Structure 1
Amino acid sequence: MSKINIFMLFLGAPFLALFLVSQGFMNQGRMLEFPTTMLEEQMSELQKEMQLLHEKTLEMGINVEMQEETFRLQEESLSDLSQMSATGRKLSDDIYEQKILDMLGPTVATHISDATEIKVFKLNELGYRGYIAKVKLFNPKAFKVVLAQDTLGKLETTSNAAKRKSGILAINGGGFYTEQRNGASYAQLIGNTVIDGRLVEAFNGYPGDLFFAGINRNGQVIGTVPHSEKSLMELEPYQGVSFIPVLLKNGKKVEIPSKWKKTNEPRTIIGKYANDDLIMIVIDGRQNDWSTGVTLELLQDKLLELGVKEAYNLDGGGSSAMYFNGKILNKPSDGKERPVVNNIVIMP
């Protein structure tokens, strides 16, 4: 029953009572005559009831108004708290973002669109040089693993793959080796590669210590050393490649196999910050007059210094290449780009 109907019921009640009493008096008056005192008492009692009904009616109206005002104030408070929370989160995000940018140094190139925000930085350390790209993925579909020539067994340079797909940023991807098949060279993927949520080949657990790294459908970096197809697919991978070793997990160093620890080499790294921003790094090497490369142990220290939370070592050596906006930024150790089996391409 609505508030208006309740109000009208209380408002009409006194008049209904008067009507019923008067009718009773008229009917009984024909048969007998009431004493005046009795009538006055009844009228007085009726007036009291009318006054009580009137007060309750007013009280009800006041309570309804008070409840409406209370609800309004509560809604305003909730709205204010929500706005304060959103403002606080944005302020926290902005502070974290600025902290990252301060650690990375001056930006040398930028790209911003509805799909991505990319900022490129130079990396210039004692003994080695390279480039860093920090990527915000607004649309996970902007992150692509691209097979060489879109075909298993083929090879393709990073810049060619990026241009062919109209990408803005690219780095080389997972490991591979070449072999002869039916008298022709065949580039075999190492580990597992996922494109658009599907393994491009049957699950391969050999040799057992290869990681899988990429993104899920929400654009978040994921990584694991899968021991079965089930354990890999439980991560709901969207795009990803394989190599070795894992460098950082949850902001802590991961033990590096001894055979990988001490050699200075060109490197390609993919990782993430705590806010899920991607970080891609390519470091040049094998060039004494430019950059000798870096050990994975030293690279772990540098990644922690930059605030990176997770990091994975992709195929390096002569394969290491970073492409941005039409050109290769680094200096590949072979003097030119090496064709590779797959590349990670970021769309504009």
Structure 2
Amino acid sequence: MSSRQHAEITRRPLISRRRALTGGLGAVVLAGGGGGAWALNRYVIDHVEVAEASARTASNVTVAEADSSGTGTATGYTSDTAKIKIQTVVTGTGDSQVTYFVADVTVTDATIMRSAFADDEFGQNIIANPSEIAESVGAVLAINGDYYGFRDTGIVIRNGVVFRDKGARQGLAFLTDGSARLYDETTTSAAALIADGVWHTLSFGPGLVQDGKVLNGIDTVEIDTNFGNHSVQGRQPRTGVGIVGDNHLLFVVVDGRSAGYSRGVTMSEFAQIFVDRGAKLAYNLDGGGSSAMIFNGGLVNNPLGKGEERGTSDILYVAG
């Protein structure tokens, strides 16, 4: 199946999701008047803040040229600027079975790992399927990002450009030297991070692994308490990113909520996947039905056991 055909098939869940959300909030509008109108405006109506956002890069950073002549197979890709190996792992049986996907990624320069926005726009409630976003920027490999567009807080730096500076939670920062670190958004600023050489930030969490060890207390963390995004606890489909060393990354997507195929994992179980593969640092991204891995234009995982993507606001990807 071509990537174009794949995009046509997977576009429908995005539309259905918007209609479902609009319908649900429409009932609130009828019942609550002005409060419901606020909810529609806050969670459904597109609010574009920056157009042509994905192509913006920092003026003070030399962005590496990605090698577009790489060769790929069903489970890997090799070029002068990136090496990718994808593994499918199945553990347990029956209702205890877990299915997940690990992309082991090595890049020659930190700027080969990039971020892109749905519809090439930064703002709230702007969504597209990850495969569509990936195709628009020629990504070899992509995972869903932190769904920054669902909230109006957090520090959002992508490709060395500041898009939002409203610290609220624990974030992850990737630096142009190929390293990464967990940090407290509320104790710094986007300007300070840029001065330190930050290339990307992600704002979801929690941090999963620090110094090669699973962090304590992560199974009881709540990311946000706003409408529709209360908890990340329990066994869930998940997406995360880990760092083995400078310019050596792990993208991991765990399927879930599908009996007999994959039950999902707890936060601690998710963290252990990274530790077992040598990650020194790892961070949790948006999960659930949003969890998706795209490779060479195709959907690698099986979201919710239905094989359908769900719209999100952004991706993290390897340029090729």
TM-score, length-normalised on structure 2?
0.66
Amino acid at match of 2:77: H
Partner of 2:106: 136
Partner of 2:75: 109
Instruction: Choose 1 or 2 for highest CA Rg.
Output: 1
Amino acid at match of 1:123: V
Map Cα deviations across residues 304-335 of structure 1 (whole Å, 9 max, x no partner). Answer: 22221100001101110000012000011273
Using the TM superposition, give the Cα deviation of residue 110 of structure 1 relative to its aligned residue in structure 2, in angstroms. Answer: 1.4
SS for the counterpart of 2:199 is: strand
Runs of 4 or more consecutive aligned structure 1 residues displaced over 4 Å after TM superposition: 259-262
Contact 2:242 2:274 in 1 (8 A): no
Q: How far apart, in 2, do the equivalents of 1:292 and 1:257 lie?
A: 16
Partner of 1:55: none
Partner of 1:96: none
Match of 2:136 among 164, 181, 185: 164
Tell me how large the CA RMSD over aligned residues is: 2.2
Match of 2:220 among 244, 258, 264: 258
Q: How far apart, in 1, do the equivalents of 2:305 and 2:245 lie?
A: 35
Higher helix share: 1
Map Cα deviations across residues 212-267 of structure 1 (whole Å, 9 max, x no partner). Answer: 34x22223333322222055345421123211100011112222151468500001
Match of 1:223 among 173, 179, 182: 182
Contact 1:212 1:226 in 2 (8 A): no
- RCO higher in 1 or 2 (8 Å CA, sep ≥ 6)? 2
Q: How far apart, in 1, do the equivalents of 2:127 and 2:167 lie?
A: 23
Using the TM superposition, give the Cα deviation of residue 276 of structure 1 relative to its aligned residue in structure 2, in angstroms. Answer: 4.1
Asked whether 1:122 is paired with 2:88, we answer: yes
Number of residue equivalences: 229
Amino acid at match of 2:172: F
Match of 1:242 among 178, 190, 203: 203
Asked whether 1:194 is paired with 2:157, we answer: yes
Q: How far apart, in 1, do the equivalents of 2:156 and 2:292 lie?
A: 19
Q: How far apart, in 2, do the equivalents of 1:130 and 1:345 lie?
A: 18
Match of 1:210 among 164, 167, 170: 170
Contact 1:262 1:297 in 2 (8 A): no
Shift of the 145–275 alpha-carbon distance from structure 1 to 2, 3 Å rule, reads closer
Using the TM superposition, give the Cα deviation of residue 190 of structure 1 relative to its aligned residue in structure 2, in angstroms. Answer: 4.8
SS for the counterpart of 1:243 is: coil
Match of 2:300 among 329, 334, 338: 329
Map Cα deviations across residues 177-202 of structure 1 (whole Å, 9 max, x no partner). Answer: 64xxxxxxxxx45522212212112x
Contact 2:76 2:83 in 1 (8 A): yes
Q: How far apart, in 2, do the equivalents of 1:190 and 1:337 lie?
A: 25
Match of 2:285 among 314, 321, 329: 314
Higher strand share: 2
Contact 1:174 1:342 in 2 (8 A): yes
Q: How far apart, in 2, do the equivalents of 1:177 and 1:259 lie?
A: 21
Partner of 2:32: none
Q: How far apart, in 2, do the equivalents of 1:250 and 1:231 lie?
A: 24
Unaligned runs of 5+ in 1: 1-106, 179-187
Give percent identity, aligned residues only: 28
Contact 1:140 1:218 in 2 (8 A): yes
Contact 1:145 1:343 in 2 (8 A): yes
Asked whether 1:288 is paired with 2:254, we answer: no
Using the TM superposition, give the Cα deviation of residue 145 of structure 1 relative to its aligned residue in structure 2, in angstroms. Answer: 0.9
Map Cα deviations across residues 243-302 of structure 1 (whole Å, 9 max, x no partner). Answer: 110001111222215146850000101011135411000000011131110001122223
TM-score, length-normalised on structure 1?
0.61
Match of 1:302 among 261, 273, 278: 273
Shift of the 122–200 alpha-carbon distance from structure 1 to 2, 3 Å rule, reads same
Using the TM superposition, give the Cα deviation of residue 139 of structure 1 relative to its aligned residue in structure 2, in angstroms. Answer: 2.8
Shift of the 315–120 alpha-carbon distance from structure 1 to 2, 3 Å rule, reads same
Contact 1:221 1:271 in 2 (8 A): no
Amino acid at match of 1:205: G
